[in-house]
Amino acid sequence: MVYNRRGFMWVPIILELSIVIGIVFYGLTHLDSRANEGGLVQPVEVETFLPFIDEEALAAEAIIAEEDSQNEKGGPYAVAPLFHVSIYRAKDGDSLWSIANESGSRFYTLLSVNRLKKANDISIGQKLKIPNQNGVLHTINKDETLEDIALKYDVGIRKIIRVNRILDPNEIEQGMDLFVPGARITPSFSKKLLTDSGIPPQFGWPCRRSRISSNMGYRKDPFTGKRAYHHGIDYAPGYGTSVYASMDGIVTHAGWMGGYGKLIVIRHRNSSSTRYGHLSSILVTKGKRVRQGQRIGKVGSTGRSTGAHLHFEIRQNGKALNPRKFVR
């Protein structure tokens, strides 16, 4: 066989290229095998694992981590300041509600801490305790533990220990008073506080919250110009606004009554009653049982009235009481 000299010259070039390609290929496969043996970390897409993450477990771990960080700084006691009270002397016109608003305290906190027998009869100069935080004052019952108290008011037990400077939780005794910060106030507990403090059952708003056009007490009669006593409060929410029963009870009057114009009277528990005067329309009948918040009429200007408003009264054994002290 005869080789062309020019064609023969390509043979070594092709051999050299084959050797280079073979070396490169061997090197790449060698490195990959070493990587798979653990020499290199292979990247993994994070999304592959997301559906299997237990979010509740992560949240729990976050809470535990937060508590641990707090414990390093003294624990959750940092958010529970030590309990102390300041003394306030009542002035003319004060009520427990106004004192609570001015001091930034909750009404039920003041009721609990002061343990008043007649909370609606605050006298001028009377001393009242104003706590530095909201909560309730609890008297320990027989065989009651700190755990029982914490569960009753839905409060962390360590907060109770801190606020009351309890050195040994095992030494609490029956009859001791403990302040429970941030205590949960249940309807039954608030009712008991009101009863123990001599406050009649809670009355609700007889109409939507609105300005008071006339308070209870002596004033100039708008018709005669003479000084006369006003036995209730006048609300001015606007003509035709709905009027609601302030408390559960039985309708004892639903019709026209002299200067009241169209009037509804509801009898409640404990010999108390409410009156709703100057109505434009009456939506209940005498003898009907109504529940608190039920619509019973509409605001008007009937009877002895100079403009649309609701005349609202609360009476106990026939005696007119100031609604501002009872409506919540």
Q: Walk me through the domains of the chain, giving residue ranges and CATH numbers.
A: 85-196 (3.10.350.10), 212-325 (2.70.70.10)
Among 10-19, 66-75, 76-85, 118-127, the minimum mean pLDDT is found in 66-75
Check if the beta carbon of residue 173 is closer than 8 Å to that of residue 210.
no
Q: Which of 189, 184, 315, 323 is nearest to 252 (CA)?
A: 315
pLDDT (0 to 100) of residue 58: 42
User: What does the pLDDT look like over 228-278, one tens digit per residue?
Assistant: 999 999 999 999 999 999 988 999 999 999 999 999 999 997 678 999 999
Separation between Cα atoms, residue 272 and residue 296, nearest integer Å: 18
Nearest Cα to Cα of residue 180 among 204, 227, 147, 223: 147
Q: What's residue 68's pLDDT? A: 43
